[in-house]
């Protein structure tokens, strides 16, 4: 299937041609991100193609929050970049054995991933976002995780990033000045 | 405000944030704090062995083993015990939700504090694992007292509490949640936000309501709050009514972010059904999972 390139301005390009019409038909296509792609690029893409907002309940609200802080240079020192990756996890106990496949958006610092839910979305805007390798966790053993090359679709990226950012509705400041 | 607080814990790192709030809250309100841990299910009636929830391994159940578990709990919370007071520690084998509810009822507990999960899950996988822990879900469903759910370390804390957000869907259970929110706000002397979100996802036949219709609904909701809740607050005037439209859990989270709320209070389910039959409402689940501040789920007004 035709790979879709997403540039740092949030444009979707198919065979090098910028897409201007409906893009829902591209949701199942594999994607490639510009090297300068950031979380801001992701949100620019959602703004540029508003039909993508319908994939998640929170995207509209997220755009609203971000639009209040559009200045460039929103980075935190706690992470170096962002990575979006897929995990396949096989679980044996507790409960019934099961296999789960899910996508995650994490921060990266010194080659280790870091949870993002304690950061404000505004602080993550200008970190570069890359697509990572698939991680395979067997029976909860998170020490020996297998990693594989994989691909991601446009749907996975939009829906997965939206889900992860839905954990970032943190207050901008503590209500009490200590 | 709370004479007896039950902190139901797995004694794992997933409960660390809840532990801090439990100790602080007990200190603040001079409450008796009980640390309660249910550590396994007896393998069959009259059995002398238990199966550990986490490891799946079998252990011999007896007074010595129970004392061992209590000592472990004491070690886990040593720093908090040294900083605050020494709580009563209880441990026993059984099904966690059943034993927590039994203990709370028997001891006349005023508030149950729990972590949202028994394990620290990846946010990415939470959607497939069931959003909140089943123990928490069952306790919130049947408890006769408010259940305070802590899913992440609190940015402020109960000690400095000054903004309470009460989210209502006008259900019968919401009235119990309101009583709790109002009493807390009046007791502490802090601001109470009464919040309602018009659920735009339930617009009729998939047709989005027009601006006029939304405005009419907002007016009607405001009038309902003024009729149903405001008169119950008597002289208390440190409150604000806010009504937004959208997906309820998203709007509530946005509102909590905007106001820097310290506590969200909600009814644990959203429909007027028998509390014993109600599952945790999806709005509460979504809020619990994502909220930066503690969420109090109130089901009944028995202990208010």
**Looking at the domain assignment, is residue A175 inside a domain?**
no
**Looking at the domain assignment, is residue A173 inside a domain?**
no
Chain A residues inside the 8 Å CB shell of B257 = 65, 169-172
**pLDDT surpassing 50 at residue B7:** yes
Residue A94 distance to chain B (closest CA, Å): 7
User: Sign (positive/negative) of CA torsion A14, A17, A19, A25?
Assistant: negative
Cβ–Cβ below 8 Å for B292 and A89: no
Confidence of residue B262 (pLDDT cuts 50, 70, 90): confident
Among the partner-chain residues B124, B163, B291, the one whose CB lies closest to the CB of A164 is B124
pLDDT in tens, B138-192: 888 788 899 998 877 765 555 566 899 999 999 888 999 999 999 989 988 899 9
Residue A15 distance to chain B (closest CA, Å): 32
- Report the pLDDT value the prediction gives residue B47, as an integer from 0 to 100: 58
Which stretch of A74-83, B59-68, B246-255, B265-274 has the lowest confidence by average pLDDT? B265-274
Cβ–Cβ below 8 Å for A169 and B54: no
Both tokens of residue B73? 């709990």
A87 and B CB contact within 8 Å: yes
pLDDT higher for B209 or B270? B209
Confidence of residue A177 (pLDDT cuts 50, 70, 90): very low
- Report the pLDDT value the prediction gives residue B46, as an integer from 0 to 100: 54
Cβ–Cβ below 8 Å for A89 and B54: no
**Looking at the domain assignment, is residue A69 inside a domain?**
yes
Our count of domains for chain A comes to: 1
Strands B147-150 and B295-298: antiparallel
**Looking at the domain assignment, is residue A76 inside a domain?**
yes
**Looking at the domain assignment, is residue A177 inside a domain?**
no
Domain range spanning residue A35?
Answer: 4-165
A139 and B CB contact within 8 Å: no
Cβ–Cβ below 8 Å for B290 and A160: no
Residue B250 distance to chain A (closest CA, Å): 7
Confidence of residue B283 (pLDDT cuts 50, 70, 90): confident
**Looking at the domain assignment, is residue A171 inside a domain?**
no
- Report the pLDDT value the prediction gives residue A33, as an integer from 0 to 100: 97
**Looking at the domain assignment, is residue A38 inside a domain?**
yes
**Looking at the domain assignment, is residue A137 inside a domain?**
yes
Residue A18 distance to chain B (closest CA, Å): 31
Calculate Rg over the CA atoms of chain B.
20
State the best of A56, A139, A167, A173 to mutate against chain B, taking most chain B CBs within 10 Å.
Answer: A167
Residue A14 distance to chain B (closest CA, Å): 29
The answer to whether B115 touches B17, Cβ cutoff 8 Å, is yes
Strands B239-246 and B147-150: unpaired
Cβ–Cβ below 8 Å for A160 and B124: yes
Q: Following DSSP, what letter does each residue of chain A receive, concatenated? A: -PPEEE-TTS-EEETTEEP-S--GGGTTSBEEE-TT-BHHHHHHHHHHSGGGGGG-SSHHHHHHHHHT---S----TT-SEEEEEEEEEEE-SSSS-EEEEEEEEEEEETTEEE--TTS-GGGGTTSBEEE--EEEEETT--SS-EEE----BHHHHHHHHHHHHTT----SS-SS--
Confidence of residue A175 (pLDDT cuts 50, 70, 90): very low
Domains of chain B plus CATH, in order, are: 4-298 (3.40.50.12370)
C-alpha–C-alpha distance, residues B103 and A146, integer Å? 44
Among the partner-chain residues B162, B256, B290, the one whose CB lies closest to the CB of A167 is B290
């Amino acid at each position: 299937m035709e790979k879709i390139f997403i540039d740092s301005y949030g444009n979707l390009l198919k065979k090098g041609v910028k897409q201007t019409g409906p893009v829902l038909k591209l949701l199942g296509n594999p994607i490639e991100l510009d090297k300068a792609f950031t979380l801001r690029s992701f949100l620019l893409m959602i703004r540029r193609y508003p039909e993508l907002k319908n994939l998640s309940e929170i995207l509209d609200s997220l755009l609203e929050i971000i639009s209040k802080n559009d200045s460039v240079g929103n980075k935190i020192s706690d992470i170096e970049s962002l990575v979006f990756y897929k995990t396949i996890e096989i679980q044996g106990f507790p409960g019934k054995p099961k296999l789960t496949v899910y996508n995650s958006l994490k921060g990266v610092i010194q080659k280790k991933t870091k949870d993002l839910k304690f950061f404000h979305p505004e602080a993550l805007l200008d970190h570069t976002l890359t697509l990572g390798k698939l991680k395979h966790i067997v029976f909860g053993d998170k020490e020996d995780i297998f990693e594989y090359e994989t691909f991601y679709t446009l749907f996975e990226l939009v829906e997965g990033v939206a889900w992860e950012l839905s954990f970032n509705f943190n207050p901008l400041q503590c209500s009490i000045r200590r | 405000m709370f004479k007896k607080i039950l902190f139901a814990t797995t004694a794992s790192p997933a409960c660390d944030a809840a532990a801090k709030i439990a100790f602080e809250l007990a200190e603040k309100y001079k409450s008796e704090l009980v640390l309660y841990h249910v550590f396994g299910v007896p393998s069959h009636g009259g059995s002398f062995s238990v199966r550990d929830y986490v490891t799946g391994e079998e252990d011999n159940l007896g007074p010595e083993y129970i004392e061992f578990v209590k000592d472990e709990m004491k070690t886990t919370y040593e720093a908090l015990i040294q900083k605050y007071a020494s709580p009563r520690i209880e441990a026993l084998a059984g099904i966690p939700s059943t034993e927590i509810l039994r203990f709370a009822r028997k001891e006349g507990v005023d508030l149950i504090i729990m972590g949202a999960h028994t394990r620290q899950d990846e946010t990415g996988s939470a959607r497939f694992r069931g959003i909140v822990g089943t123990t928490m879900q069952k306790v919130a469903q049947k408890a006769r007292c408010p259940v305070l759910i802590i899913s992440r370390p609190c940015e402020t804390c109960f000690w400095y509490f000054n903004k309470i957000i009460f989210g209502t869907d006008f259900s019968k259970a919401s009235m119990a949640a309101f009583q709790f929110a109002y009493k807390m706000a009046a007791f502490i002397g802090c601001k109470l936000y009464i919040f309602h979100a018009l659920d735009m996802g339930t617009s009729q036949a998939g047709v989005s309501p027009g601006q006029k219709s939304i405005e009419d609904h907002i007016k009607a909701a405001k009038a309902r709050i003024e009729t149903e809740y405001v008169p119950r607050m008597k002289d208390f005037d440190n409150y604000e009514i806010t009504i937004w439209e959208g997906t309820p859990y998203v709007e509530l989270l946005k509102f909590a972010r905007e106001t820097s709320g310290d506590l969200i209070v909600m009814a644990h389910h959203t429909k007027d059904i028998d509390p014993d039959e109600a599952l945790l409402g999806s709005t509460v689940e979504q809020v619990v999972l994502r909220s930066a501040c503690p969420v109090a789920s109130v089901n009944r007004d028995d202990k208010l």
